[in-house]
Amino acid sequence: MSEPLMATYNRLPVTFDRGEGVRLWDTNGKRYLDALSGIAVCGLGHAHPAVRDALCEQAGRLIHTSNLYGVAEQERLGALLTEQAGMDRVFFANSGAEANEAAIKLARLHAHRRGIDNPAILVAENSFHGRTLATLSATGNRKVQAGFEPLVQGFVRVPYDDLDAIETAAANRPNIVAILIEPIQGEGGIRLPSDDYLVRLRELCDRSGWLLMLDEIQTGMGRTGRLFAFRHAGIRPDVVTLAKGLGNGMPIGACLARGAAAEVFSPGSHGSTFGGNPLACRVGRAVLETLIDENLTENAAVQGAYLLDALRAALGETRGVVDIRGRGLMVGIELDRPCGALVGQALDAGLLINVTAERVIRLLPPLIIDRAQVDELVGALTGLIQGFLGDA
């Protein structure tokens, strides 16, 4: 790999040249099945005509002016996105980390205006909210934080899916003003909370006067079989953050808010030079319209359920497989040992996967995947896992 680049990634020995649908081809012409989607980014797959046409049309018309002026595409995407999410307003950024930064700033400003001088946000262990200084401080993963101290103060950490711990924190910390939580922990190992977790969090936030802020960077945009994961619980958050699947590869993030939370920011309190530029927003609108028009959220639900059933049938009794879990096309296979070596073995076999939390194989295929491609994924992965567990 190229030495001019800073060594911030352990890159695999492959460079991709082109993609189409759920397939990628490397510079040597080898074909791969993409079961990762750029980590939940390319929900429409690669080279989708709607994304291509939106990019080309908008690039030939207008890429950037400034947020000093009106941005028509930003307003169009904002209207569609808030309508679909049941929210009131949106701030556009360039990434998920920036979207979460906006949410953190919003919660602090909201608290200060209520006379709370030292506000704290409740976050969860094993969470991941980004790599900027504030979002890595909110993240519940010591590996991400190590070496970057002093961290940003103002976060109270509790175990994920532990309502008693939150009640205890609420009793002891009167300065808590908000909860920032993932509906499903992605980087933490595809961890689903109890069915009533979000409902109970909503009740607790209403009772305590806290903002319920959901990080849907990975779970949003149809990934779990609903357009937003909070739909499964039948609740509405006060703030929700999006990125990854919103741009299908075009960098864009969004912080949506409703009610009083939507009125916190005023001119000068937050901003972004590139955030919400015409090109990113035109692509975001094309992605959202395609998700709706082609019913891809439903496809994620159907194919995801089939994928889970097929994996459980193939691997459920395999010694060394601890759990197979997920929702929609966000699936994890937990083994009883570290399994990072499987990523390279899968690459050799023409399959793109990821391992997170050391022992969890993470599958995030494009939302356009069909039944035959799911069968191909299960067949290839089953052989790899059984070989790995047998040889380890």
Rg of the chain over CA atoms, in angstroms?
A: 21
DSSP H or E stretch at residue 327: strand 321-327
Q: What is the DSSP string of 26-82?
A: ETT--EEEESSHHHHT-TT-BS-HHHHHHHHHHHTT-S---TTS--HHHHHHHHHHH
Burial 21-58 (b: 16+ CB within 10 A, else e): bbbbebeeeeebbbbbbbebbbbbbbebebbeebbeeb
Among 167, 87, 121, smallest CA distance to 79 is for 87
Catalytic residue among 91, 128, 228, 388: 128
Q: How deeply is 11 buried, as exposed, middle or buried, from its count of CB atoms within 10 A (0-12, 13-18, 19+)? A: exposed
Catalytic residue among 34, 92, 155, 244: 244
Helix (H, G, I), strand (E, B) or coil at 182: coil
At residue 87's C-alpha, the angle toward residues 81 and 93, to 5°, is 55
Pairing of strands 176-181, 211-215: parallel
d(CA 74, CA 94): 13
d(CA 65, CA 246): 21
Catalytic residue among 34, 215, 238, 265: 215
The pair phi, psi for residue 128, each rounded to 5°, is -140, 125
Among 333, 369, 281, smallest CA distance to 42 is for 369
30 flagged as catalytic = no
91 flagged as catalytic = no
Q: Which two tokens stand for residue 348?
A: 């050799």
| Residue in the structure block whose two tokens are 């400034």 | 66
244 flagged as catalytic = yes
Catalytic residues: 128, 215, 244
